[in-house]
Amino acid sequence: MTDHVTVRLSTGAVRGLRFDGHLSFRGIPYAAPPVGDRRWRSPAPVAPWSGVRDATEPGNPAPQVAQSFADVTSVDEDCLTLDVTVPAAARAGRPVVVWLHGGGGTNGTAATSDPRRLAVTGDVVVVAPNFRLGVLGCFGYPGLPDGGTFGLLDQQAALRWVQREITRFGGDPANVTLVGESYGALTIAAHLVSPTSAGLFHRAVLQSAFGVMGPTPAHTFIPGVPTLPPMWSPAAELERLGAATAAEHGWITPGSDPGSALAQLRRVPVEDLLQSSAAFIRPAFGGPTLPESPAEALPAGRFHRVPLVLGATRDEARFFVGLFADVAGHPVTAESYPRLLAEAFGDAADEVATRYPLDHFPTPSLAWAQVCTDRAWARPAWDLGRALAAHTRTWFYEFADQDAPPLVPLPGFPTGAQHSSELVYLFDFPGGPSLSAAQRELADRMRRYWAAFATHGDPAHADLPAWPDFGAGHVQSLAPDRIGGTDYRTDHCLDFWARMP
């Protein structure tokens, strides 16, 4: 049974829905639409409205093209909205969780995941914003202020909206936890360093962050992708890329001065811009939003000292090898495995092959997936955890349900605890996979851990297994049959990888 419920904001009233157990408000604008001349500008305040604004339907996703891992398509730049989910029982001062979705920096939307169980189980308010992605979120061009940081600025605008408005939903603006997965976790690393994010959040959870500090060898992120630097772009480098891309696609008249060029770029149809979206996913540093690369700032301790949880899934890379190699019709073979190793690790390839021999794995693709999981995900996660724990209290987890139902099915490929598989345990996905009874119990426990951390800055919960912090290297394994410490360092051969490229 549902009925309507109205909340009055500083900009006007919104009407959401009351369900059994929770309230839902969707598509609330937190900044002015970044359309027309507002494309590639910092977010502007929302214009107040009269009457009651409907908040029962999700807002537009940020412009994006459907991918093999995400079937959402949008060309509407009016996307700066957020959803709020609140337990139905009236109460003030609830902790606030701000969820930043993943999607590789080009895809994703707040509407995909339903946080009602997290909100109700944890007695927290969940806010989920949409923000600019890809070429609209991380574009740079000579003379363009804030280039490469528009998505980060959107997230900051959403956090400032929380500071102004969340008490009207029963939330506590002095107790805000950022939670993000994959690209969303990467952006949290930026907010930890950004001086303009100071005071907007009080703790954070980084799930499967990628490329935060070090380079990634060729093929170990996605087969066929060359060596990747950390996921941060010097502002000047991004400006050169933007200028070259605009010239290549004919978006500007040759010889245009910067002001004229930017005016022309703001008139390019979104559909045309999206052709190049994948080239613009690295937030830029060197400006006021992100003066310094997080790859340098985080290990040096130059970040906001808030309590942190971070972690990864046990079989991260199976998602990428399964989707972009096996399902794409190009599985790793006994013949291609040595070539991949040589191109990734050079003179160390034979040593890696000896540590990961093909006869220890059911298929060459699974052997390569283990190499990629350990080198491209487990080693960087461990290094990031150590860097953070040296300066602030930090907890580390590994999601380890190797029977986890995948959000993106990979027919014929054993997905294990692949990248993004933990999301089904924190959120509901309409039309998505279902969980067994044991998996539902694990999901309930995970939501309580996350909510306890959002409430107290520590995942400890009286009804759950103890979770020591990462100060002594503890990693909490999360699986249906066992929750407790695991030898992450040995399981992922981290002593071996510490001396490899």
CA–CA separation, 385 vs 471, rounded Å? Answer: 9
Burial 127-155 (b: 16+ CB within 10 A, else e): bbbbbbbbbbbbbbbeebebbbbbbbbbb
Residue 419 falls in the annotated catalytic set: yes
HEC per residue, 71-96 = CCCECCCCCCEEEEEEECCCCCCEEE
Burial class (CB in 10 A: 0-12, 13-18, 19+), 302: middle
- Kindly state the tokens that stand for 454: 């959002």
Q: Quote the longest CA-to-CA distance of the chain.
A: 69
Check residue 36 and report its DSSP letter.
G
Residue 298's alpha-carbon distances to 124, 201, 281, 371, in angstroms, are 29, 17, 20, 26
Q: Which position among 74, 182, 233, 365 bears the catalytic label?
A: 182
Q: Rg of the chain's alpha carbons, rounded to an integer? A: 22
Residue 441 falls in the annotated catalytic set: no
Q: Estimate the crossing angle of helix 183-193 against helix 150-165, to 10 degrees.
A: 80
Q: In whole angstroms, what separates CA 276 from the centre of its chain?
A: 20
Residues paired with residue 475 on neighbouring β-strands, in sequence order: none
Torsion of CA 230, 236, 241, 245, to 10 degrees: 150
Q: Which position among 101, 219, 304, 419 bears the catalytic label?
A: 419
Q: Which position among 316, 421, 422, 461 bears the catalytic label?
A: 316
Residue 316 falls in the annotated catalytic set: yes
Q: Estimate the crossing angle of helix 364-372 against helix 336-345, to 10 degrees.
A: 10
Location of structure tokens 């999901």: 443
Residues in contact with 434: Cβ distance below 8 Å, sequence separation at least 6, in sequence order: 405
Residues in contact with 155: Cβ distance below 8 Å, sequence separation at least 6, in sequence order: 100, 129, 131, 187, 191
Residues paired with residue 398 on neighbouring β-strands, in sequence order: 312, 477
CB 42 within 8 A of CB 151: no
Neighbours of 362 (CB within 10 A): 9
- Catalytic residue set: 182, 316, 419
